[in-house]
Structure 1
Amino acid sequence: MRVDWKPGTLIYPLPAVLISCGTMEEGGANILTASWVSTVCTNPPMCVVGIRPERHSHSLIMDQGSFGINLSTVSMARETDWCGVVSGRKENKFRACGFTKEAGTVLGTPLIAESPISLECKVREVTKLGSHDMFLADIVGVRADEAYIDAETGAFDMQRAGLLVYAHGEYFSLGEYIGHFGWSVRKKKTKRR
Structure 2
Amino acid sequence: MKEVSALQTYRVLEPGPIVMVTTSDRGKPNVMTMGFHMMIQHAPPLIGCIIGPWDHSFETILATGECVIAVPGLDLAETVVDVGNCSGDSVDKFQRFGLRTEKAKEVSAPLIADCLVNIECVVVDRRNVEPYNLFILEAKRLWVNETRKERRTLHHRGDGTFTVDGGTLDLKDRMVKWRHLP
Aligned counterparts of 1:129 and 1:19: Cα–Cα separation in 2: 20
Task: Give the TM-score taking structure 1 as reference length.
Answer: 0.79
Residue of structure 1 in register with 2:179 after alignment: none
Residues 99 and 117 of structure 1, relative CA distance in 2, 3 Å threshold: same
Residue of structure 2 in register with 1:121 after alignment: 121
RMSD of equivalent CA atoms: 2.3
Give the greater-gyration-radius structure (CA). Answer: 1
Residues 4 and 145 of structure 1, relative CA distance in 2, 3 Å threshold: closer
Does structure 1 conserve the Cα–Cα contact (< 8 Å) formed by 2:24 and 2:108?
no
- 1:168-187 aligned within 5 A: 168-169=158-159, 170-177=161-168, 179-184=169-174
* Identical amino acids, percent of aligned pairs: 20
Residue of structure 2 in register with 1:9 after alignment: 10
Per-residue CA deviations over 1:111-132 (Å, capped at 9, x if unaligned) read 21111100000001121365x5
Per-residue CA deviations over 1:7-48 (Å, capped at 9, x if unaligned) read 5433135311001111583xx111110011111111111111
Which residue of 154, 164, 168 corresponds with 2:154? 164
Number of corresponding residues: 172
State the 1:163 CA deviation: 1.6
Residue of structure 2 in register with 1:88 after alignment: 88
Higher helix residue share: 2
**Structure 2: which 5+ residue stretches go unaligned?**
177-182
Does structure 2 conserve the Cα–Cα contact (< 8 Å) formed by 1:24 and 1:101?
no
Helix, strand or coil: the match of 2:10?
Answer: coil
- 1:21-40 aligned within 5 A: 21-23=23-25, 25=27, 28-40=28-40
Helix, strand or coil: the match of 2:170?
Answer: coil
Task: Give the TM-score taking structure 2 as reference length.
Answer: 0.84
**Structure 1: which 5+ residue stretches go unaligned?**
149-158, 187-193
Aligned counterparts of 2:20 and 2:45: Cα–Cα separation in 1: 19
Aligned counterparts of 2:26 and 2:171: Cα–Cα separation in 1: 38
Residues 144 and 62 of structure 1, relative CA distance in 2, 3 Å threshold: same
State the 1:182 CA deviation: 3.8
Residues 54 and 160 of structure 1, relative CA distance in 2, 3 Å threshold: closer
